[in-house]
Amino acid sequence: MKIEIQKSDIIEIATDAIVNAANTSLLGGGGVDGAIHRKGGKQILEECVAIRNRQGGCDVGQAVITTAGNLPSKFVIHTVGPVWNGDKEEKKKLLADCYRNSLELALQNNIKTIAFPNISTGIYHFPKDKAAEIAIKTVKEFPRKEEFEKIIFVCFDDENYDLYKALLA
């Protein structure tokens, strides 16, 4: 199992699954969520609406899966990161849940390669240094991590890229 860092746009990545930093509505939004729905097309939204009708959206820290429409990956795992306000210790736990539950759901769907964005570090304002530490630690401590071939952290901005490079060095 390899852990990689890439500075790129996650909608260009051809892994079995890419992860989306969604919101509880699952109906799309800005940031990486907006980019995924724009390029992925209406199929992703239709599947999100079906999930929403079935289970009423997605709670913070949880994850759901759809196919990837026009994207080069096969699946999109939509997870909902915490907004950085209120109980900070609780928010750190919820961010770790995002990574853990996305990995669990990936294995349930026989996914071997997965790419994560830097969940919660944009519109949701989670401090990037803390988020990077949590992301890396959670992946490294995931009990079944060896069942993956590759886990990629996709960084969009230089600050995140430099943080991940330093932490994984």
Supply the residues annotated as catalytic. 33
Cβ(26)–Cβ(51) below 8 Å: yes
For ligand AR6, which stretch binds (CB under 6 A), given 46-54, 59-67, 106-114, 156-164? 156-164
Amino acid, single-letter form, for residue 153: F
Q: How many chain residues bind ligand AR6 (CB under 6 A)?
A: 25
Cβ(92)–Cβ(130) below 8 Å: yes
Q: Choose between 60 and 106: whose C-beta lies nearer to ligand AR6.
A: 60
For ligand AR6, which stretch binds (CB under 6 A), given 5-13, 58-66, 70-78, 137-145? 5-13
Residue 130 Cβ vs ligand AR6, minimum distance, rounded to whole Å? 13
Kindly write out the interface string for residues 72-101 of this chain, putting x where it contacts ligand AR6 by CB under 6 A and - elsewhere: ---------x--------------------
- Interacting residues with ligand AR6 between 36 and 75 (CB under 6 A): none
SS3 sequence of the chain: CEEEEEECCHHHCCCCEEEEEECCCCCCCCHHHHHHHHHHCHHHHHHHHHHHHHHCCCCCCCEEEEECCCCCCCEEEEEECCCCCCCHHHHHHHHHHHHHHHHHHHHHCCCCEEEECCCCCCCCCCCHHHHHHHHHHHHHCCCCHHHCCEEEEEECCHHHHHHHHHHHC
133 lies in the site for ligand AR6, by CB under 6 A: no
Cβ(161)–Cβ(155) below 8 Å: yes
Rule CB under 6 A: choose which of 35, 77, 111, 132 binds ligand AR6.
35
Rule CB under 6 A: choose which of 16, 19, 33, 102 binds ligand AR6.
33
Kindly write out the interface string for residues 8-27 of this chain, putting x where it contacts ligand AR6 by CB under 6 A and - elsewhere: -xxx---------xxx----
Contact residues toward ligand AR6 (CB under 6 A) are: 9-11, 21-23, 29-33, 35, 81, 117-124, 154, 156-157, 160
